[in-house]
Structures are given as C-alpha cells and as structure tokens.
Amino acid sequence: MNILLVCESYFPDFGGVQSLVKDLAKELALKGNKVTIVAGNLLHDGKLLNNYEVIDGIEIYRFNFIPIWSFSLTSLKNFIFIGLKNLIRLINLIKKIKPDVVNAHVIGGSAFYVLTSKILLKYPLVSTVHGSDVRVFPHSLWFHKKMIPIALKHSDVITSSSEDLLRHLTRLVPDLKVKCITTHNGVNLRVFEDSEPFKNDNLYLFSMGRFVEEKGFDVLLPAFKRVSGEFPDIQLLIAGDGPQKERLMKIAESLDLAGNVKFLGAQERENIVALLRGCEFFVLPSRRESFPVSILESMATRKTLVATTVGGIPEIVVNNVNGLLVEPENEVALANAIIRLLKDKALKEKLELNSKTTIKAYDIGNVCEKYLSVYESVLHKD
C-alpha cells in the first residue's frame, strides 16, 4: 500500500505525536508498504528545517503550513504569498506520489491544506485526532473554528488516540460519530529492550513533557517538595522544554528545590529510554491529556507510574493494578501517592509486573495492524 502520513510537527521536534508517527511510519515500511511523510517545517524553538530529507529510509517533505490566525493585512499577505504557494506544492506532491490513502495526524494549522487537497484530488483520507486539535478549535478564531470541523467532515474515517477524546469530539460535532473509531497510541517495544539505565548519584523520579500549563509541572513541583520532606535525598528529573520553563525553574527555586530538581531540556529518544530505565517510577501530573505516549514508554521500560485521572489515561492505567491515579491539580494527593509508592516496595513490584503485561497490547506492531485495517476499510468503502 502507498501511504502518505501528514503531521504538522515531526522529528527532530519532540512530543508524543511525533514519536507515534515516527514509529508508525517505520513499522508500516517494515511491513512492505511505501511510506511518505509530509510535515511542518517549523520547530518549537522557531528553527526552520529543510524542505526535504530522508530519515530512517523514509522521505520527508516539509511545508510551511501558514494558517489564517486573523484577517489582518499581515496575516492575509503571509497566507497569500506563502500559504498558497505551499498548497500548490502539496497538491503537486500528492499528484506525483499517488498515495492509496492519506492519514493526517493532528488537524490544526494544516486543516485548510488537507481539506483543499482532499476536495480537489478526492483521495481517501483518514484523519487522526490527538487532543490539541479537538480541544483548541472551539476557542479559535472564526476561520479555524469552522475549518477544522469541515476538514473532519470530509474525512472518510476519523481515528482518535483515546475513547475519551472521541466522546469530546462527538459532543462538539455530533454528525461525526458515524465515522469515528479509536486507535490507541503505541510504542516500538524493541527500542526498549536491553537498554542501559541512566546513572545518577541519587535515586530519582522521572517526568517529561512540554513545559505548558496543561502538563501540570507547576503542581508536581510543590508535591515533590512534600515528598522531599520524607525522602530528602531523592531527586526529580524532568525532561522537556517549552514556554513555561523559566517559570517552573523559579518555582523550584522558591521551594528551595534547586539541588533536588534537574531540568534536563529536550532529550533524544535513547536518552528518554535510559532515564526511564533508571528511575524509581514515572510521574505524569497532567491537567489534560488524550492518550500519552509517555505512559506507554514508562511501561515499556517495566516501570510503574503515578498519573492523573484525565483524558484517556484511565483507559490504560488502572488504579492499584498497574499504576496509581490521583485527581488533577491536587498536589497533596499527588505527593501522597508518590510517598506511598516509595515506601511500599511490594506494591511497586506488583504494579511493575502488571505494567509489563499491559504494554504488550500497545506494541507498535499491533497498533500498525489496526491502522492498516482502517486504511483497507477506506479503500474498500462503497
């Protein structure tokens, strides 16, 4: 099968969607499919990437998906002189590679481009929503508020990384319910086999993610302050980057945690694996999530976790079975769960054993088969 994956942000940018699409592309190719990726060319730090490159033997074509954020003269000029040029380039690329199916991940700034090319070229389209696209568009400017639902309505099938996200989407746009299915995220378990643990002088907890409000790191830090009162030598290592980095560092400093909390910055995949392998357990303090790949990655390293009861997290984490769950934005409950897991070694071992069993269903090979089944259903649609 000839498959085109569209992703607004892709490697070397970091995040759960980027990891999933990278693993999915490699697995699809291993199964004998031709895979091409179309991605945005802008990193989170503002750096522009090359328009074309090959990663893991897969061709990557990068585009400047200029959205219309407003109807100001500057915004319209950028869209006309840059956006339309990229739209024409995208249409020509799709004509050239002739994909059997297009799978667009995260319908946000690329919505206009995907929608227009779909209408003109009439290719089979699978749209995969991951969270930010669904949760942001109702609060966007008029153009995007209208454009994203229209793009989804023109999709042949809509898949979602979690059942919770699909419920949220169909509450917003009830007409979409008939074409929605869940395809949970997955990870390549082979990457996590026989990896060496990160060496740290002290025992440590590990967390990671974008430094944004929804990830809840500002809740984790005061919770960890409570933990350090009982475990003064344990450290908290946090991988990631984002607009709230300076604020979080100031919070850590104000809590007198500078010696116990390490902000590691964005990390390559192999470093993430090592950090997970070496930690006591993983902590995810999010306010909002869809179906975080980071939870799958922690389980893939045979680690348990403390996480919040938001989004699709309870679809994989069962409290007291393969992890501990607490309500979001509750630093006391978060601290108590962490302390409980640090004190109760038997509980920790039980949760780790069950995590090892849970993760088998989310190997990228299994997830890939589900995507292929969706692609086949679109191709054979009457």
CATH T-level fold of 190-362: Rossmann fold (3.40.50)
Residue in the structure block whose two tokens are 């031709």: 34
Mean pLDDT of the chain: 90
pLDDT recorded at residue 191: 86
Token output for 341? 């897991």
Confidence of residue 140 (pLDDT cuts 50, 70, 90): low
pLDDT recorded at residue 137: 56
pLDDT recorded at residue 310: 96
Average pLDDT over residues 103-127: 89
Residue 124 or 10, more confident = 124
Q: How many CB atoms lie within 10 A of CB 37?
A: 23
Residue in the structure block whose two tokens are 């938001």: 310
C-alpha distances (whole Å) from 356 to each of 178, 196, 235 are: 35, 18, 25
Distance CA 118, CA 168 (A): 25
| The pLDDT of residue 125 is above 90 | yes
Distance CA 99, CA 122 (A): 11
Average pLDDT over residues 126-155: 74
Task: Return the sign of the alpha-carbon dihedral for residues 255, 261, 262, 263.
Answer: negative
Which of these, 17, 23, 29, lies nearest to 59 by C-alpha position?
29
Domains 2-186+363-379 and 190-362 share a fold: yes
pLDDT tens, 13-29?
777 788 899 999 999 99
Average pLDDT over residues 297-324: 96
pLDDT recorded at residue 204: 98
Q: Where are the alpha helices (DSSP H) in 282-363?
A: 293-300, 331-343, 345-358
pLDDT recorded at residue 143: 59
Task: Count Cβ neighbours within 10 Å for each residue of 210-228 and write b for 16 or more, e otherwise.
Answer: bbbebbbbbbbbbbbbbbb
User: Into which CATH architecture does domain 2-186+363-379 fall?
Assistant: 3-Layer(aba) Sandwich (3.40)
- Residues present in the chain in total: 382
> So where are the chain's domains?
2-186+363-379, 190-362
pLDDT tens, 247-293?
999 999 999 998 899 999 989 888 999 999 999 999 999 999 989 99
